[in-house]
Structure 1
């Protein structure tokens, strides 16, 4: 791998779609490596990159970054010319980080727990970061409703990519309810050229159905 090459490990049937979208928003060059479930994803070579044996992951400047939210945040800072992250002295940096971590933490946990029938009972809600599924979705809806048109107002950011990507996934799999604020935000996101390019690239990698 060249010293400054950006390598993107993914599978079109994964959260790697969110990172692909982020890369397309950045407009930078990168090389895609498709890792197969049950195959190369569990190989010794890939486990040396991500011991979890999961995608997405990136390699950049000798650094490995895993976890979709972390990758989006890293890329936004690594390529500041794209303007996808507020500077550290920008007051919008707080809300930017807040919603990135909220989606990676409570939203991801609540949606997954509900899908598996493993939500914490009400009397133990205080023990889990998401409290309850409804509480988490209501808070997420508040963020989506305030997106005018984006989470940081007129400025599109990596938070829209990651948090919006979670909403987009959730609407598609019906793990997030089709509330007006979610569907309206998702429509704005899907209209972005980078989103459409990313979808086309990943759709082209989907296995053929015989």
Structure 2
């Protein structure tokens, strides 16, 4: 059993979804977190995440944190599910690139937009990010072409939480609709605050 430290309606919800997609054995360990937007909650002493955040995953006593790292760890651990290309697969490089792009480009770009602290360089970075993501999805249903992956889960989870953080392109709405129709997501959402 993989313990997932989880706070409802947070970034850890995406890992309920990924674990359901993988068919992995897991248990939910609910923890409280501080939520800056509402100024509610507090650090939970039972949460092993070094910053008191979620997600955090334990596997045989090994702690894995940070969304991109957890996504890679889980898809490597459960390769038969096909949600992350294995070493040697030609799509492995693009998959790793999208995982890193999520953490290194998308998150900072939308955070700066949300906090209204974009200078000209930030605006250019946001536009470049939008161009890359939009043109990718104009030619294929998922980030890796016809293959749904954990990278899609990371990106789509942002749209599920705050659709307005990306421009109103129809291609984003269609991507979100395709992902929202996945049965594993419905199972995950049923467990999110259960």
TM value normalised by structure 2: 0.88
1:201 aligns with 2:191: yes
* Aligned with residue 12 of structure 1, among 2, 5, 8: 8
Give matches, 1:176-195, under 5 Å. Answer: 176-195=166-185
CA 1:180–1:141 in 2, change beyond 3 Å: closer, same or farther? Answer: same
* Aligned with residue 22 of structure 2, among 13, 26, 43: 26
Work out the CA distance in 2 between the residues paired with 1:169 and 1:178.
15
Q: Which runs of 5+ in 2 are unaligned?
A: 35-39
Work out the CA distance in 1 between the residues paired with 2:124 and 2:73.
28
* Aligned with residue 164 of structure 1, among 140, 156, 171: 156
The offset of 1:33, in angstroms, is 0.8
TM value normalised by structure 1: 0.82
Work out the CA distance in 1 between the residues paired with 2:142 and 2:134.
13
Please say if residues 10 and 34 of structure 1, whose CA atoms lie closer than 8 Å, have aligned partners that are also in contact.
yes
Paired position in structure 2 for 1:52: 51
Work out the CA distance in 1 between the residues paired with 2:162 and 2:41.
27
Tell which structure's C-alpha radius of gyration is larger.
Answer: 1
The offset of 1:144, in angstroms, is 2.4
Q: Which runs of 5+ in 1 are unaligned?
A: 206-210
Please say if residues 14 and 154 of structure 2, whose CA atoms lie closer than 8 Å, have aligned partners that are also in contact.
yes
Q: String of CA shifts for 1:5-63, please: whole Å, max 9, x gaps.
A: 300001112111111110110112211011113498624442xx211110111001221
Please say if residues 31 and 44 of structure 2, whose CA atoms lie closer than 8 Å, have aligned partners that are also in contact.
no
* Aligned with residue 137 of structure 1, among 120, 123, 130: 130
RMSD: 2.0
